[in-house]
């Protein structure tokens, strides 16, 4: 950040308001009496952009942690939905489960060794339920199972 304490304080206040999410950018700049020209100049200040990038990365990490915490519950709910008497709901749940498997197939987290990259095991019972739901969806006469 710049050596000028007043500018530093203004930049940090603007950044804090950006991440508070209460106001649009134009109102934040007006609130802190920052002109568009000054804001554009800040975009070339490595300290300002580094702070913005750090906060963006921190927000992404925080959201990833929230998603990771609820993923097991969401996955279990999807498995339950595969038993739905409504074929379309069961079909979509199956597709979502398949899509979730593809998302997790990327590189393993840093703490995972190469020998442990198989991912979470699906129980035979769960696999059987998913396959049965898919089979029911494809065997229903007159129903289309177009993939979206």
Q: What is the pLDDT of residue 128?
A: 73
Q: What is the pLDDT of residue 147?
A: 42
Q: What is the pLDDT of residue 138?
A: 57
Q: Is the pTM of this model over 0.75?
A: no
Q: What is the pLDDT of residue 144?
A: 45
Q: What is the pLDDT of residue 148?
A: 38
Using alpha carbons, select from 95, 101, 91, 94 the residue that is nearest to residue 122: 101
CB 84 within 8 A of CB 90: yes
The two tokens of residue 66 are 């929230």
Q: What is the pLDDT of residue 1?
A: 45
Give every CB contact of residue 77 below 8 A, 6+ residues apart in sequence: none
Q: What ranges do the domains of the chain cover? A: 1-69, 82-105+117-148
Regions of the chain where pLDDT drops below 50: 1-2, 112, 114, 117, 141-148
Q: What is the pLDDT of residue 107?
A: 54
């Amino acid at each position: 950040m710049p050596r000028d304490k007043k500018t530093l304080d203004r930049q940090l206040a603007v950044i804090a308001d950006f991440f508070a999410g209460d106001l649009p950018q134009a109102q934040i700049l007006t609130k802190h009496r920052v002109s568009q020209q000054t804001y554009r100049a800040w975009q070339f200040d490595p300290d300002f952009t580094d702070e913005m990038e750090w906060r963006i990365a921190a927000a992404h990490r925080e959201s990833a942690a929230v998603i990771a915490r609820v993923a097991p519950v969401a996955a279990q709910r999807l498995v339950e939905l595969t038993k739905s008497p409504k074929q379309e709901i069961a079909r979509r749940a199956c597709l979502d489960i398949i899509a979730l498997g593809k998302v997790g197939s990327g590189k393993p987290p840093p703490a995972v060794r190469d020998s442990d990259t198989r991912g979470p095991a699906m129980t035979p019972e769960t696999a059987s339920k998913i396959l049965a739901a898919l089979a029911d969806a494809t065997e229903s006469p007159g129903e289309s199972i177009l993939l979206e």
